[in-house]
Amino acid sequence: MLNKLKKLFPRKDGNLIKFNADFEQLNNLEKLTHKRFTLDEKNLYPCLNDNTEETGFDRHYVYHPAWAIRILLQNKPKKHVDISSTLHFCAALSAFLPVDFYDYRPAKIELSNLKSLAGDLMQLPFESNSVTSLSCMHTIEHVGLGRYGDPLDYDGDLKAINELKRVLAPDGTLLFVVPLGAIDTICFNAHRIYSKKQVLSLFSDLVLKEFSLIPENEMDGGLIIDPSDELLSKQFYGCGCFWFTKK
C-alpha cells in the first residue's frame, strides 16, 4: 500500500510511512472489536498535514466576520444587506437577523432568514440613500481583475465603492473589509492590497467610526482596534476592517 500512496504523494514520504503504519494498526484494532465500518484501501483519504500542535485557521476569514457580527449585535438593525462577503458570515448572521446576500454569481443556499439574490456591484439594485445596514467584506479588492469572470477594469474597485456609498442611507452602517498593507499593491489576478491612507481617501465623504487590523503575523495579535502606525508599517497582507457611517 505504501508504494501506491507514494505514487500519489511522492513528496510526503515521512508522513506516508506513518500513515501506512496507522492504517495497519487500525486494521488490527478492528479485529479486536465489533466491525461497524468498511475499512478498505479503495476508500483511502490521506490527510497528511493535520497532525499539528495547534489548530490553524485563516486569520482574515475567522476574525473579520467575528468583528462584523459583534458590531451588528450592538447596532441591532431590522435587516442587513451584504454584498458578496463570505457566506459563512451571512449564514451565521441569519441565525438572529434577516440577511439579504447579493452576488454577481448567486449562491444556491437555503436557510431561514437568508435570501441569496443576484446583484452587480457596478450597479446595485437599490435606490440611493436606502440601505441602513450594509457590508462588503473581502470583496472590493477583486473587482475588475477578472478572477471571477468579471471584465478587466483597473478602476473597477472605485466604481464599486461609489455604488456602496450611493446606496448607504444617512446614519447607516457600512462594514468594509479589504487586504491592508503598507504599500498599495495589485497581486494579479488575485487581489489588490490597500494602504489605510488610500481607504480613508476613497471614503473621505463618510465618517469612520472604527478601524481594526488583523495583522498577518499572529505574534502581533488577533483583532487590533486602532493599531499603531508602527504595526501598520509591518504589514504586506494584513486585513483592514472599517466601520463607516454616512453624514
Cis bond before residue 75 (omega within 30° of 0): no
Note whether residue 147 is domain-resident.
Answer: yes
- The predicted model gives 131-138 an average pLDDT of 98
**What count of other Cβ atoms lies within 10 Å of the Cβ of residue 213?**
24
Q: Which residues pair with 101 in a beta bridge?
A: 82, 116
Question: 171 — alpha (psi -120 to 50), left (phi > 0) or beta?
Answer: left
Identify the top-confidence range among 40-44, 46-50, 103-107, 234-238: 234-238
The predicted structure's pLDDT at residue 53: 92
Q: Is residue 49 part of a domain?
A: no
Whether 186 is in a domain gets the answer yes
β-partners of residue 243 are 175, 210
Residue 4 belongs to some domain of the structure = no
pLDDT in tens, 219-232: 999 999 999 999 99
Query: Does 193 map to a domain?
Result: yes
**What is the tally of structural domains in the chain?**
1
Q: What pairs with residue 175 in β-bridges? A: 135, 243
- Assess whether pLDDT exceeds 90 at residue 237: yes
Closest to 206 in 3D by CA, of 158, 228, 173 = 173
Q: Which distant-in-sequence residues (6+ apart) come within 8 Å of 126 by Cβ?
A: 81, 167
- 84-125 confidence digits (pLDDT tens): 999 999 999 999 999 999 998 899 999 999 999 999 999 999
Rounded CA separation 213/225 (Å): 6
Write out pLDDT tens, residues 141-194: 999 999 998 999 999 999 999 999 999 999 999 999 999 999 999 999 999 999
- Given a contact cutoff of 8 angstroms between Cβ atoms, the answer to whether 107 and 101 are in contact is yes
Short-list 102, 100, 177, CA closest to 137 = 177
Q: What is the dihedral of CA 112, 118, 119, 120, to 10 degrees?
A: 150
Residue pair 194/184 in contact by the 8 Å Cβ criterion = yes
Phi, psi angle pair for 193, to nearest 5°: -120, 130
Q: What is the pLDDT of residue 73?
A: 97
Reported as a single tens digit per residue, the pLDDT across 47-92 is: 888 888 999 999 999 999 999 999 999 999 999 999 999 999 999 9
Whole-angstrom distance, CA of residue 154 vs CA of residue 156:
6
Predicted TM-score (pTM) above 0.85: yes
Residue 14's pLDDT band, with cuts at 50, 70 and 90, is confident
pLDDT the model gives residue 4: 63
Domain assignment present for residue 52? The answer is no
Q: Which domain holds residue 145?
A: 59-246
DSSP β-ladder status, 206-214 and 224-225: antiparallel
Distant-in-sequence, close-in-space partners of 186: CB < 8 Å, separation ≥ 6 = 145, 192, 193
With 70 as the cut, is the pLDDT of residue 10 above it? no
Cβ-Cβ contacts under 8 Å for 24 (sequence gap 6 or more): none
14 lies in some domain: no
The arithmetic mean of pLDDT across residues 228-241, rounded, is 98
CATH number of the domain where residue 162 is located: 3.40.50.150
What's the confidence (pLDDT) of residue 109? Answer: 97
The Cα–Cα gap between 127 and 85 comes to 21
The verdict on residue 32 lying in a domain is no
